[in-house]
Structure 1
């Protein structure tokens, strides 16, 4: 079964997100744990979560993906920023236990002049501080496009973070198609080769989710500019290949394209049409 969804607003709660997902043909979704540009998490409504979990179970939802706020930078040179990142990660992982067995995705951050090695060390140190053996959530490092001083533009950088983390079993990777294509991994012409390289560096068992995004910019542009599926430099056939690849087809796919809910519904319908059951 194709498990596909998009990013939904959590402002009205989990049950509301579940109903929106169903209305546009989705059977999973991604959401922010808090305002993507802010710091305050929404209070937990256990009744709302209980209603959502029933809705999800009744409708065969796939695994959910939560996304950390964009302001999170665990490898900043500013101690205030790293303390904020640690606080957010701790609070969010506590929240995620109300949705057991889900995924939590974050951008590794930017080293802002400290160098890649130092950035990797700082990200790993934060993860060692916040991960716990009892948590049911898998924390995903997102592949990045390589703009500026971002960490995570190569599979090797993500592997270096994971290598330094004690509870490695709590970690996975979210592959963003726009980001990796912009970072120089040719998903259009060498999909098998990219996946083989991922396997050799990280292990395919680490790949837990896919962000499905076309790119406004060309291959190896090192830019982060998402585009509607089939309207960018990857093109329609690349996404048909991605969702049907034997290594990827059972993973959850999440759209982050510049569309509203109705537009995402159109993309979901197109993906379902081209998925080979």
Structure 2
């Protein structure tokens, strides 16, 4: 079971692996730059070497980055589109230099309300970026909660974006399923776990699921609000996570927490440990699903 959390890179990416070790993580997610600023950063050779060495030393098997929250590859604004594309390429380059397995990205916001244009443009820019930045880093389209004109709250939208990408690079594109987001978007993981997984299989395909973000929801079902809660303490409750942790179809898929962290480093560690312990308890208590 590849299990962990989003960990801080404060002070440099080299600090992430020891923080992973502090919570017993075999999978981690990081930011390679400040997610709410456009300013680009370069990860220098020493930083990359230290990060790669730390990953091996501390037993982290899977590591991914989440891209900047400012990036919108579906925007109708030509200036923001080019700025977003340049930032996305920068994210891919840093992920490649650090030896990360994947880059998670939000599918963006069709600011003009034209969903077909937004889907097509997002796929086109991702394809172009993958051609520009060769390597093995996968791009994982994250499921969204569905507020406003955001793309990616429906499985069929993610499937269409993937289908639009050239087969030569399509194998580097998959999805990241966020449990809070899909529940908020109207997929009832609590009341119909099997039905939701079947829909995912029929549209995207389970082989395209490259990562899970494990988050409970602080808002009710189908709220279309992205508000995370601690595992088992939100409107999703324990059962969907017990099913997911014991579902053999996803046993090989990395799973990371994005649950609330608290205000200081001690809180971050203790809260991550609490949530991870709860997830591991589902493995001990439950029988693997067929």
Q: TM-score range by the shorter chain?
A: over 0.9
* Pair 1:15–1:34, CA change in 2 (3 A): closer
DSSP-derived class of the 1:6 partner: strand
Compared CA separation, residues 13 and 28, structure 1 to 2 (3 A): farther
RMSD of Structure 2 on Structure 1 (CA):
1.6
Higher relative contact order (CA 8 A, sep 6+): 1
Aligned residues: 276
- Given that 1:33 and 1:41 are in contact with CA atoms closer than 8 Å, whether structure 2 keeps it comes out as no
Q: Distance in 2 between matches of 1:196 and 1:89?
A: 32
Alignment-derived partner of residue 272 in structure 1: 280
Counterpart Cα distance in 2 of 1:62 and 1:85: 30
State which of 170, 173, 179 in structure 1 corresponds to 2:172.
Answer: 170
How much has 1:80 moved relative to structure 2? 1.5
* One of 209, 215, 218 as aligned partner of 1:216: 218
TM-score normalised by the chain length of structure 2: 0.90
Q: CA deviation at 1:226?
A: 0.8
Change (3 A) 1:243 1:95: same
- Distance in 2 separating the partners of 1:79 and 1:233: 39
Q: Secondary structure at the match of 2:283?
A: coil
- Residue 158 of structure 2 corresponds to which residue in structure 1? 158
What is the SS of the residue equivalent to 1:175?
strand
- Deviations 1:209-252 (CA, angstroms, capped at 9, x unpaired): 00001001111111111111111000022211111111122211
Measure, in 2, the Cα distance between the counterparts of 1:42 and 1:182: 34
**Distance in 1, Cα, partners of 2:89 & 2:14:** 24
Give every structure 1 segment of 4 or more consecutive aligned residues whose post-TM-superposition deviation is greater than 3 Å: none
User: In structure 2, the residue corresponding to 1:64 is in which secondary structure?
Assistant: strand
Q: Show CA shifts across 1:45-82 (max 9, x none).
A: 32233233233223331211100111111111211211
Structure 1: how far apart are the matches of 2:253 and 2:12? Answer: 25
Instruction: Give unpaired runs (5+ residues) of structure 1.
Output: none
| 1:1-277 paired onto structure 2 within 5 Å | 2-100=1-99, 102-132=101-131, 134-166=134-166, 167-260=169-262, 261-262=268-269, 263-276=271-284
Structure 2 unpaired stretches of 5+: 263-267
- Indicate the SS of the match to 1:108: coil
Secondary structure at the counterpart of residue 218 of structure 1:
coil
CA distance in 1, matches of 2:249, 2:194: 9
Classify the secondary structure of the residue corresponding to 2:171. Answer: helix
Cα pair 2:178 2:212 within 8 Å, conserved: yes
User: Does the 8 A contact of 2:51 with 2:98 survive in 1?
Assistant: no
